[in-house]
Structure 1
Amino acid sequence: MSIEIVVVDAGQLAKGVEFPPLKIPKYSWEEYPGLDAEGIEERCWRTDVVVVMASAISGELLKKMHRLSLLITVGEACHRLDQAAALEQGVELLAFLDADGSNEEDAQDLCDRIVQAIEHYVANGVKNEENV
């Protein structure tokens, strides 16, 4: 089984910055410059991991993400998340509260740390093939 990952608002990152490839066997990675709530619902309903830089994630929106197991929030998005709803739904949260993706060096470091966090999450048995 493949892990599905979506970055809903990668346009918040400095130009020229890219997420490095994951070192896991099977995954799909989708990146959007910015999605509104309807776009997030449409693109993330079957996603395992969602990365959010600035968009608001409501409890209502979370309920429509049936497979979501990890939600990574950055900066402003950390404060625009219905944390209680996420925890109630069993979604693990990872927040980079003070991260800044506006300059290239910091943004690349952030991308690298997000990828490392996803690899660590998968390696610990959450969604890797040996445990599915």
Structure 2
Amino acid sequence: MAPDAPAAAATDTLATRFAQRLIERDAPPPPPSQEPAAVLARIQAWLIPRQGVRDARTHLRMARMLVALMEQPELSTEQLQLAAGLQWRAGCRMSLELLTRGLTQRERRGRYFYHRLTRAAEDALLVVVAGAQGAG
């Protein structure tokens, strides 16, 4: 083992350590997780400061509805509630909350309302879901 020690010491110079640090500095950070739970957590975090939602349960429900609307371009109120796993009352309240905050728009067709994301919400959520720099 004695001959290996000087070889290891020779490769562990200031120059090699500094070069390694620069390689790590210049390497792009790993992309954020696209697991559903991680995406939902990023949307919830985005809702808190930017949209003024303070109640954890509210921003979880709103985040679920936003995810459902990202997966489908348009959903009826009932479809949106089911996709978000909400009961009727909570689903109605959250869909109105999203509308009031300018994140969704709705259109009445017959007896039903259909919801879709606004263009501004789509643009903002793309950055949040992708995990791009400055999204938080």
TM-score normalised by length of structure 2: 0.30
Structure 1 or 2: more helix by fraction: 2
State the TM-score, normalized to the length of structure 1: 0.31
The structure carrying a bigger strand percent of its residues is 1
Which one has a bigger Cα radius of gyration? Answer: 2
Instruction: Report which structure shows greater RCO (CA 8 Å, sep ≥6).
Output: 1
